Structure formats: structure tokens, C-alpha cells
Amino acid sequence: MPDEHPSDLVIRHARPDDARDLARLAALTFRAAYEAELAGPELDRYIADHYSPGQQAAELADERLTYLVVERFGAMIGFALLRTDEHHSAITGARPVMLSQIYLDQAHIGGGIGSTLMRRCLAEAAERGHDTMWLGVWERNQRAIGFYERWGFRRVGTMDFDFAGQSQRDLVMQRDVVDQHMSR
């Protein structure tokens, strides 16, 4: 894989006209992350229901959601979603924010872009006055769990994730928004 240079990137807030590109990338990255274990018509249905341009447009219009998109040479290659409309009883902090999604196109994983995007997510959360960032990660996604642990997230509980009528278990992890891991 060629070396990625984070200075070649643009990370910005998503705009309403990003809905189609965001839907395409979200479908592609979700499929890549889960198709080995969750393939079949259920995966296709889940993607169609959750990652259509219409669904993405509705989410982009929701003020409780903040999408950050990553572009390289004008092409969208990744995104993150921060939400203030989700809560979990194990989360501490007076003003938590959920890192609901953070995905990169497979060709760009492993070159530092994920860390650059995480840094931006933490900065965005701090700018908005959040003190805790939390997330749910599929218990079988060891690569993602390792990434979050390197960023100082710690396990605080579990939650169920409904995937096409099948209950999957997610680990709930949290970290302080501002701490020693912010400069990774």
C-alpha cells in the first residue's frame, strides 16, 4: 500500500450536496467491514435501508448529527459521524457525544488517515463543549477495537445492535474528549 500523507487530505463538515457520495461511501465501507460474517440479503437490505441518498440527506439535515468527511484529491474516502441524540447508561460525563461511525475506504486504511480523522473528531467534540466521547463497536471487530484502545477508549459496557432482526453485541467504550491521547 502506498504511504498516505495526511497533509494531502481535506477534512470538512459534510454539506447537503454530499448526500449521494456519502451514501455510496457508507454502503461500500459498511459492506467491507461486515460482509465476511453478515453477508446475504440481510446485509443488502440493511445497506439499502440505512445508506440511501435520501436517508443520508435526512441525517445531514439533523442538527444533532455532525458528519465530517475526508477527501483526498477531491474524492470522498472516509467519514465520521458524531451524534448527540444517542445515550447509554454506562457512559459518564456531563456532556457526552457518540462517535457513531468512523469509516475509511479500504484502500486508505493503515496509512494514518484514521488517526487524523479521530484527532479531528476529538477536536470537534471539544469545540462543541463535550467532555466524553463514546462508541459501540462490534465485539468481533478486533481491528477497530484495537484502534479505539490505542486512542484511549476503555470498555464500560455492552449494548445490542439490531442487524436485520439479528441481535449482535457491541462493546461500549468511552474516553475523555481532552486527555493525553489527543495528540496521537
Strand spans (E) along 47-116: 65-72, 75-83, 96-104
In tens, the pLDDT along 10-23 reads 999 999 999 999 99
Q: Is residue 1 part of a domain?
A: no
Residue 69 in grid coordinates:
468527511
Question: For residue 31, what pLDDT is reported?
Answer: 84
Question: For residue 37, what pLDDT is reported?
Answer: 72
Question: What's at 87, amino acid-wise?
Answer: H
In tens, the pLDDT along 84-97 reads 999 999 999 999 99
Report the mean per-residue pLDDT for the chain. Answer: 88
Residue 184 in grid coordinates:
496521537
Q: How many domains does the chain have?
A: 1
CATH code at 39?
3.40.630.30
In tens, the pLDDT along 119-128 reads 999 999 999 9
Q: Is residue 184 part of a domain?
A: no
Q: pTM above 0.75?
A: yes
Q: Give the residue numbers spanning the domain of 175.
A: 6-179
Q: Is residue 160 part of a domain?
A: yes
Q: Is residue 47 part of a domain?
A: yes
In tens, the pLDDT along 146-184 reads 999 999 999 999 998 877 677 788 999 999 998 644 544
Q: Show the CA angle centred on residue 19, arms to residues 18 and 24, nearest 5°.
A: 100
111 CB neighbour count, 10 Å cutoff: 16
